Amino acid sequence: MNMELPRGVQDILPEDIPYWQLVENTARKLFESYNYEEIRTPIFEYTELFRKGTGETTDIVMKEMYTFTDKKGRSLTLRPEGTPGVIRAFLTNKIYNQKPVWKVYYIGPMFRYERPQAGRYRQFHQLGIEVLGRKDPYIDFEVIKLAVDLLKNLKLENLEVEINSLGCIKCRPNYREALISYFRKYEDQLSPIDKERLERNPLRLLDSKDEKLIALKDQAPQPIDYLCDECKIHFEKVQKYLSLDNIKYKLNPKLVRGLDYYTRTVFEITTTTLGSQNAVVGGGRYDNLVETYGGPSIPGLGFALGIERLIILLKQQNHISLPYIPLIFITLSEDYVETGIKLANILRTKYRVDIGSPQENLRTQLKWADKLGSFIVIFLTEEIEKNKLKIKNFKTGEEKYTDLNFNTILEDIETML
């Protein structure tokens, strides 16, 4: 039996769970303060959902999806991203008849068959937000601000906000023709995949990873130069709101994101500490996606970030103290287990608590406490008969005999941590 993990997946062990809980809890608290509600969509859906929404010409659909046929011959795909499932839920449940604006967030695993590297796995986890029903530039600002605030709340540094506008269905055709005209001159330098993109979706060429295209992309036409008046005004207001809120940003005319459905505002937040895979958060507006699925004309936008990559940054920058130190009760006699149970029940409202086995000797229990990472140990001994407890901090050597009173015990523990 092969007990090795398949390539591109990982065990998330207990010592890392506090980082995950920190990210998830911080995100939930922040998103809900902006009136976003949590949604949970299926891990697999019909393949057509992703082909139609994510885009036939994207790397995700062309090369990275985990697709399989079920017992009735239906094509299903493990979700590679969160947005299509949210849109499908919006339409399936006819949310558009219930709420004029729908603001949701999600947290969960996604699946892409790509080359594993630092912070990038074939099963990975995303958290993201989606807003459906608002087309005004304020909501573009709010989505970017939420991403910035989340990273600030996690005390992350060395981050940069990059923004661009891809235009709308009115001005995009002019830009598309300009791109085709430009890249046609260099068609002999394009790979077979990029030649196909030139015909079907030339914007994808700006997102190509082919090194031969780097110089060509630098000289290519920029979408911001082809915006219609309405798109220009929209983008100017987004920038105005960012400046009013003192959010520093830079214009990146080459930013197109890797998905076909984006329109108007797109953005990324990047870092200098993750090497070539430097994007931490990415998102933008997708005003035509609901219609693509056969729904009404409803604008939308959102962002997503990879939790694994975020946790790498948290560990690197090491600004956060995680509450993972358990309190350990050491007891050498059954006579004092009852007291330990009563005290542990109270202390668990604030701390992690574990109780040693009275069948084990003192040395064994202390070794166990050390392996658990605990340095605060409470001894359940004959001192209980005198209404006293001994508490010791094995890191500093400090020890106290405290009264057998919850408030006193709690106060002494806090002074010793």
- pLDDT higher than threshold 60 for residue 381: yes
262 belongs to an annotated ligand binding site: yes
Name the band, by pLDDT with cuts 50, 70 and 90, for residue 175: confident
pLDDT at 316: 85
Q: What angle do CA 239, 278, 197 make, to 5 degrees?
A: 80
Known binding residue 126? Answer is yes
Residue 118, pLDDT above cutoff 80: no
Q: Is 83 annotated as a binding residue?
A: yes
Q: How far is CA 348 from the centre of its chain?
A: 29
Predicted confidence (pLDDT) per residue in 382-395, tens digit: 888 888 888 988 88
- CA 413/CA 417 separation, integer angstroms: 6
Q: How far is CA 208 from CA 19, 197, 212, 307, 375, in A?
A: 33, 10, 10, 24, 52
pLDDT at residue 410 is higher than 90: no
Range 353-371 average pLDDT: 88
Beta strand 300-306 with 327-331: parallel, antiparallel or unpaired?
Answer: unpaired
Residue 82 assigned to a binding site: yes
Which of helix, strand or coil describes residue 337? helix
Q: In this predicted model, which residue has the larger pLDDT, 323 or 410? A: 410
Query: Which pLDDT does position 77 carry in this prediction?
Result: 96
| Strand residues in 332-368 grouped as ranges (E) | 353-355
Task: Give the mean pLDDT of the chain.
Answer: 88
Query: What is the value of pTM for the model shown?
Result: 0.84
* 246: pLDDT strictly greater than 80: yes
Q: How far apart are CA 330 and CA 378, in angstroms?
A: 6
Instruction: Give the DSSP H or E segment for 406.
Output: helix 406-416
Grade residue 95 by pLDDT with cuts at 50, 70 and 90: very high
What integer is the mean pLDDT of 309-325? 75
* Cα distance between residue 414 and residue 397, in whole Å: 15
State the Cα torsion 247-253-257-258 to the nearest 10°: -160
257 is in an annotated binding site: yes
Q: Output the six-digit token pair for 184.
A: 């046609």
Distance CA 315, CA 284 (A): 28
pLDDT of residue 275: 59
The mean pLDDT of 43-66, rounded to a whole number, is 85
With beta carbons less than 8 A apart as the criterion, state whether 19 and 309 touch.
no
Residue 294 to residue 79: CA distance in whole angstroms? 20
Per-residue pLDDT, averaged over 20-45, amounts to 96
Apex CA 208: angle with CA 205 and CA 209, to 5°? 160
112 is in an annotated binding site: yes
- Domains parsed from the chain with CATH numbers: 17-168+227-317 (3.30.930.10), 172-223 (no CATH), 327-416 (3.40.50.800)
Give the residue-averaged pLDDT of 73-80.
Answer: 96
